[in-house]
Amino acid sequence: MNPLPKSSPYAFIPYLPPPPSSSEPPSFNIKHTSTWTYCGPLLTPASLPSSLHTWSAAATTSPSALLSRLIPLLTFLETFLLAAGIDHYWLTLRATTPTSEYDTPRWHVDDDFFAPLSRGTPSLKSVRSLSVLQPRPYKTNRNKKTDWKLCTTLLGPSTLFLPTTANTPALRTLLTTTASEASSRGPHECTSIRCAGCFDTGAAVRARLAVAFKEEEALQAREGEVALFRTGLACGAVHSEPPCGVERVFVNVVPGGEGELRALMQRFGMAFPRAWSLGLPARLDEGDGGGDGDGGEERRGAGGGEDPVKEGGA
């Protein structure tokens, strides 16, 4: 089941009631830029992995304040995703200190998280594979569990989205710009998951798209709202990380079936279910077995945006 209207690339959905004007959530600060990632059944307050508490204690000044914002989101996600027939997800919390890295928008779409052979920089490969550089009508592939995801922020600014009416022409611009930049550099063989050739092309695409879309009025989810949006080059929502000159906790949610998430973890040589973190002095790893704890952190979206488990939704 796809909960998005057929004609819309994204929607903002409230998960918190409007707070009283005098109400302020408990405050906290970010000590280290880092991520905590979990892949498995939907979480409840009673089933939180111990590594989440360890990570939040190392990454923030108040784990309890972080949890006071996270628990309502997890409760909403459980209800919302079960209603959509989904009981597993890939969930990432990314805590960041202030940075100027995103002062220039990084417009992109997130690739299909479960597409075969989509590690590395699938955006360029995906563009080359399209027979016609045109966005496709909004359709749900019956053989695919999900072609959408969710994101929100527990602290700091929300992801930028183009107006819904601008998304289809923006997709066309993204596709043609990516193809043009890739063609001007010629074909190359990706020798690493962090391919320098794809990175160079992605940087050029971002610069051109920032100019192309500079007159568009970006939209953002409000505090207490999640962004639900489509993925993939065919009809994905064009979005960007916001300027992040303040501390931020971004939450990325990739819903999926147990089988496809288990297969995805196996592709990265990782156990399932599993929880782990990156960016702290000591890596936290909690799962059923061995495997490389950082495999899932390398996926990137079309247009060169952040990878889906870090900022895929931006």
Q: Would you state the pLDDT for residue 287?
A: 65
Segment 85-112 shows an average pLDDT of: 95
Looking at per-residue pLDDT, the higher value among 192 and 37 belongs to 37
Q: What is the pLDDT of residues 80-90, one digit of tens each?
A: 999 999 999 99
Question: Based on C-alpha coordinates, what's the Rg of the chain?
Answer: 19
pLDDT at 216 over 50: yes
Percent of the chain residues topping a pLDDT of 70: 77
Q: Rounded distance, CA 151 to CA 305, Å?
A: 15
Partners of 276 in beta bridges: 37, 285
pLDDT at 63 over 90: yes
Q: What is the pLDDT of residues 145-196, one digit of tens each?
A: 688 999 999 999 999 999 999 999 999 999 999 999 888 877 777 766 567 7
pLDDT at 23 over 70: yes
Q: Would you state the pLDDT for residue 285?
A: 64
Q: Would you state the pLDDT for residue 16?
A: 92
Q: Rounded distance, CA 93 to CA 153, Å?
A: 9
Those residues whose C-beta lies under 8 Å from the C-beta of residue 310, and which sit 6 or more positions away, are: 35, 92, 94, 252, 297
Q: Would you state the pLDDT for residue 113?
A: 83
Q: What is the pLDDT of residues 258-274, one digit of tens each?
A: 999 999 899 889 999 99
Q: Which of 246, 241, 255, 215 is nearest to 313 (CA)?
A: 241
Q: Rounded distance, CA 254 to CA 91, Å?
A: 6
Residue 99 and residue 245 in contact, taking contact as beta carbons nearer than 8 Å: yes
pLDDT at 35 over 70: yes
